Amino acid sequence: MASQTAASKTPRNRQTSSGRRGRGIGIATAAESNERSHGQLHIYDGEGKGKSQAALGVVLRTIGLGICEQRRTRVLLLRFLKGPGRAYDEDAAIEALQQGFPHLIDQVRTGRGEFFIAEDATRFDRQEAQRGWDIAKGAIASALYSVVVLDELNPVLDLGLLAVDDVVKTLTDRPDGMEIIVTGRAAPRALVQVADLHSEMRAHRRPEPQDDSVIPFLPTGGIEIYTGEGKGKSTSALGKALQAIGRGISQDKSHRVLILQWLKGGNGYTEDAAIAALRESYPHLVDHLRSGRDAIVWRGQQQPIDYVEAERAWEIARAAIASGLYKTVILDELNPSVDLELIPVEPIVQTLLRKPAETEVIITGRCKNQPAYFDLAGVHSEMVCHKHYAEQGVDLKRGVDY
């Protein structure tokens, strides 16, 4: 990570205390941004974990904003290669979405439940891929949906089950305001070329033990880390929150979630509407705390309040993890806080080593130097940004980008 926070990637205009609008170090709130109206094509691919989770995070954010602003939002989740007979990580998250926001989420699953390679593809596989794509084309043409998620479309194309040219043309000709999110490994070059955003989830393997002094592997529950310059870190964490809630619903248990955010004082962040929607639908299952100033924290320019705020949030996090009361604890932007030396590394390592086996800890944020607790992670996905529409001067859109 550079020496700024991941929460505020670039300085933006804001209203100054004297009422003048100037170039400041604050975070632009939703009300201060020029919102784009044209929908974008997002692609999440790569070997790492977090692709479908990131898509679900965008879905939650879109629904949350629609609720807050009392405007209609509707989402289609079309899942390729995910037929009945097998459980998937995001099943519980989708169940939580459908129960929390009935009538706003439509879901279609196609394909068979087992893995296969191109040489093993059958007539059934081609028919199911075409069935899913016909549904997608109809949904896109109807313009009834605010967001269409085409989960695992990339591997369908890689397997040769659909014509890439037809997919590219349909997605290019989508209705103006519709967001389309495509996930899965091995996105074809022709699709990447027409995409507005391309974020690769790159998997990092846990280092093999070299001697008895290395940090031991954690038991069940585990730790997941999402880092890198690309989009999808906090949204993947929100997908994990949904997953925990949905898993609790399916097991008739209370799976409580704590979302702790560092370096995110003020308002107008990407997760605001999503977290608000979660807390409205599941008020007894989601707790949320934000810390930090409404400003970019630069290396070498840290203020005393930055240390106080970072430590305050960490003390809450440490107690929450140790208590075992939460099944999922999200430590959003902990990585840059450590990178800026606002929090020491060793207490984090010790807390994670002693965490209850059933508690999942999700850590997000960019960082320039990987701290020691990265070696504890069972999952470490680096989001690599290959293309982002913001770099082309495209305005951001509420409910999708912030």
The tens digit of pLDDT for each residue in 324-345 reads 999 999 999 999 999 999 999 9
pLDDT at residue 210, as a whole number: 55
pLDDT above 80 for 287: yes
Average pLDDT score over residue span 27-50: 64
Average pLDDT score over residue span 23-45: 51
pLDDT above 90 for 201: yes
Confidence of residue 400 (pLDDT cuts 50, 70, 90): very low
pLDDT at residue 4, as a whole number: 41
Establish how many alpha carbons lie within 13 A of residue 74's alpha carbon, considering only the half-sphere containing its beta carbon.
Answer: 10
Distance CA 313, CA 378 (A): 24
pLDDT above 60 for 385: yes
The tens digit of pLDDT for each residue in 232-258 reads 898 889 988 998 898 888 776 778 999
CB 361 within 8 Å of CB 355: yes
pLDDT above 60 for 35: no
pLDDT at residue 113, as a whole number: 83
The tens digit of pLDDT for each residue in 211-238 reads 554 455 444 348 999 999 888 898 889 9
Domains of the chain: 34-200+386-392 (3.40.50.300), 223-383 (3.40.50.300)
Choose between 270 and 99: higher pLDDT: 99
pLDDT at residue 15, as a whole number: 33
pLDDT at residue 149, as a whole number: 97
Lowest mean pLDDT segment, chosen from 97-101, 270-274, 288-292, 380-384: 270-274
pLDDT at residue 68, as a whole number: 72
The tens digit of pLDDT for each residue in 68-77 reads 777 778 999 9
pLDDT above 60 for 402: no
pLDDT at residue 399, as a whole number: 43
Confidence of residue 63 (pLDDT cuts 50, 70, 90): confident
pLDDT at residue 195, as a whole number: 94
Distance CA 167, CA 130 (A): 11
The tens digit of pLDDT for each residue in 121-161 reads 999 999 999 999 999 999 999 999 999 999 999 999 999 99
pLDDT at residue 251, as a whole number: 78
pLDDT above 70 for 42: yes
Separation in Å, CA 74 to CA 45, 100, 145: 24, 14, 5
pLDDT at residue 207, as a whole number: 61
The 3 state secondary structure assigned to the chain is CCCCCCCCCCCCEEECCCCCEEECCCCCCHHHCCCCCCCCEEEEECCCCCHHHHHHHHHHHHHHHHHHHCCCCCEEEEECCCCCCCCCCCHHHHHHHHHHCCCCEEEEECCCCCCCCHHHCCHHHHHHHHHHHHHHHHHHHHCCCCEEEEECHHHHHHCCCCCHHHHHHHHHCCCCCCEEEEECCCCCHHHHHHCCEEEEEEECCCCCCCCCCCCCCCCCCCEEEEECCCCCHHHHHHHHHHHHHHHHHHCCCCCCEEEEECCCCCCCCCCHHHHHHHHHHCCCCEEEEECCCCCCCCCCCCCHHHHHHHHHHHHHHHHHHHHCCCCEEEEECHHHHHHCCCCCCHHHHHHHHCCCCCCEEEEECCCCCCCHHHHHCCEEEEEEEEECHHHHCCCCCCCCCC
Q: What is the CA radius of gyration of the chain?
A: 21
pLDDT at residue 311, as a whole number: 97
pLDDT at residue 392, as a whole number: 55
pLDDT above 90 for 80: yes
pLDDT above 50 for 25: no
Task: Please report the sign of the dihedral spanned by the C-alpha atoms of residue 346, residue 351, residue 354, residue 359.
Answer: negative
Q: What's the mean per-residue pLDDT of the chain?
A: 83
Confidence of residue 296 (pLDDT cuts 50, 70, 90): confident
